[in-house]
A = this chain, B = another copy of it.
Amino acid sequence: MDFRSDNVTGAHPAILQALHRANEVTSMASYGADEITARLVTRVRELFEHDSLLAYPLVTGTAANAISLACLAPPWGAVFCHPQAHIQVDEANAPEFYGAGLKLVPVPGPAGKLDVGALAALAGAELHGVHNPQPSVVSISQASECGTTWDVAELNELAAVAGKAGLRVHMDGTRFANSLAHIGCTPAELSWKAGVDVLCLGASKNGALAAELAIFFDPALATEFERRRKRGGHLLSKMRFVSAQLEAYLSDDLWLANARHANAAARKLVAGLAKIPGCRLLYPVEANEIFITLPANVNAALTAAGALYYPWPSGQPGEEAYRLVTAFNTDMKDVERFIATATAA
């Protein structure tokens, strides 16, 4: 009953198997000039219905986000994001580091999603020459840090504001597959067709060992990406082993199957917990994260039974809230046992 995070999981067997296949060839060009990486790009273009996108494998979401943002904003630029965005609170200032001192400007909004009206006001404010940080990018998380998703209509509204203010749109897609599985549209519809310029597509939390993909839908924005990746120490010599993970991930519907399983586990968990008095959801459950209050006796019983999960600010005095994260390999029996334990408390 480990619901701490989807990053405590291991790798999906199909992805481990892809490493073996990649190892069958004795030697292969290094630094991403190999055929697996080339096939991967082709696969991404098919999947996203986009002939000219560029896609770069990386091993962490922090690297993908930070290097991408550095390509989109100058050092004197401003990147707008939610105050709870991963890039703002969980990446040890990596975006500012890669961006040579660019600034993240928080724009609040409910349930982990920045308020688009507030963005319009902030990014549209009159500027005074070289003094003000230059509005450059809006970054959103799909799914958000509160487990909510941006649907196509919301993305279009965001893109309209961004376009008017001259902002590029960056999507931290650590849990893009979970959002996509929830919303049920095509990858293209949830990204470039809805105005996203750069998508950092996660795989590590959804079955890979360590693999993320920075996808630039406008190649002109990516001219500096490869230099920045190398300079950050993120150009792996045996890149084929990252690309192989991503190729398997994006083949045979694996990414969506994994995400659907995680989402289903979350729904099942919520359905069970919702019947228990004192369990209140903080946000709608749209992907694979649940933020919920648990009465003290329920929490005590779960902990005693060995369940693992982290506390989360409830925002209400007297209430203790927690985060539960399901994953591609969550055992439904664990879900049932968790519910049973909580119900019996």
A210 touches B227 (CB 8 A): no
The reply to whether B2 and A234 contact each other, CB–CB distance below 8 Å, is no
CB distance from A246 to the nearest CB of B (A): 14
With A and B bound together, what is the CA distance between A263 and B227 in angstroms? Answer: 33
Q: CB-CB contacts of A288-329 with B at 8 A, as 1s and 0s? A: 000000000000000000001000010000000000000001
A204-222 residues with Cβ-Cβ distance < 8 A to B are 204-205, 209-210
Chain B residue nearest to A129 (CB atoms) is: B31
Chain B positions within 8 Å of A88 at CB level: 103
**Complex: A102 Cα to B97 Cα, angstroms:** 8
Q: A10-B22, A60-B237, A100-B101 are in contact. Are A231 and B94 (CB under 8 A)?
A: yes
Among A91, A232, A237, max chain B CB count under 10 A is at: A237
Nearest CB of chain B from residue A217's CB, rounded to whole Å: 22
Interface size classification for chain A? 35 or more
Per assembly, the copies of the chain total 4
Does B129 contact A100, Cβ atoms closer than 8 Å? no
Tell whether A90 is near chain B: CB-to-CB under 8 Å: yes
A147-173 interface bits toward B, Cβ cutoff 8 Å, 1 = contact, 0 = none: 000000000000000000000000000
- A308 to chain B minimum Cβ distance, whole angstroms, is 8
Contact B238 A10 (CB under 8 A): yes
Instruction: Give Cα distance in the complex from A160 to B24, angstroms.
Output: 47
Q: Given A97-B101, A210-B236, A233-B232, are A10 and B23 also a contact pair (CB < 8 Å)?
A: yes
Whether A92 contacts B76 in the complex (CB less than 8 A), given A8-B28, A237-B7, comes out as yes
Mark out the residues of chain A between 233 and 259 whose CB falls within 8 Å of any chain B CB in the assembled complex.
Answer: 233-238, 241-242
Min Cβ gap A23→B in Å is: 4
Residue of B nearest to A308 (CB): B27
Say whether B16 contacts A227, CB under 8 Å. no
A99 at the B interface (CB under 8 A): yes
